């Protein structure tokens, strides 16, 4: 039996982070976590490109453009969607999640879902580095591991 697993080393990787600016108070903490993870895994911060978009709904469109450039080993999607009093939350969260999943399935590089979807501000804050870890940090860990696995599968490493 053969097992394949990506290594947690960002030394030779170039990663794009696409982050929604809406709820930036929390999103900035996700971005800090993402950068921290990349550097801890040996990544060169000059090889981590950050693309800021107005909100989470705009993330998949930018990811599509970045994939077509064939420049990145992985793309990390970060954003914060908090439930409000209208059905807006369901539309944004559902459609954004589905689009990111489709890009991940169809694309030549891993596209990692690092969005927080929360019922309230407290839940979102907890998932941005206080009580429940940092979703940005976790997303970069996944991106680095998956980039390595994609390299193994494609025969480049």
- Whose tokens are 């501000």? That residue is 121
How far apart (Å, rounded) are the C-alpha atoms in residues 139 and 30?
9
| Catalytic-labelled residue, pool 65, 88, 131, 157 | 88
Largest Cα separation within the chain, whole Å, is 52
Say whether 88 is catalytic: yes
- Using CB atoms within 10 Å of the CB of residue 23, give its burial: 0 to 12 exposed, 13 to 18 middle, 19+ buried: buried
Q: Which helix (H) or strand (E) holds 19?
A: strand 15-20
**CA nearest neighbour of 145 among 48, 50, 13:** 13
Query: Could you tell me where the beta strands, DSSP code E, fall in 22-129?
Result: 48-53, 74-82, 111-118
Give yes or no for a contact between 64 and 5, defined as CB atoms under 8 angstroms apart.
Answer: no
- Catalytic residue annotation: 88
């Amino acid at each position: 039996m053969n097992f394949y697993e990506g290594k947690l080393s960002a030394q030779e990787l170039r990663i794009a982070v696409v982050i929604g600016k809406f709820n930036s108070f929390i999103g900035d903490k996700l971005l800090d976590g993402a950068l921290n993870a990349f550097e801890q895994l040996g990544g060169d911060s000059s090889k981590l490109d950050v693309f800021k978009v107005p909100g989470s709904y705009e993330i998949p469109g930018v990811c599509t453009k970045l994939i077509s450039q064939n420049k990145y080993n992985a793309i990390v999607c970060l954003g914060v969607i908090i439930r409000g009093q209208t059905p807006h939350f369901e539309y944004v969260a559902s459609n954004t999640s589905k689009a990111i999943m489709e890009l991940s399935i169809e694309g030549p590089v891993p596209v990692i879902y690092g969005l927080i979807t929360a019922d309230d501000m407290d839940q979102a804050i907890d998932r941005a580095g206080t009580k429940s870890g940092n979703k940005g940090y976790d997303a970069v860990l996944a991106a680095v591991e998956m980039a390595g696995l994609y390299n193994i599968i494609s025969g480049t490493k």
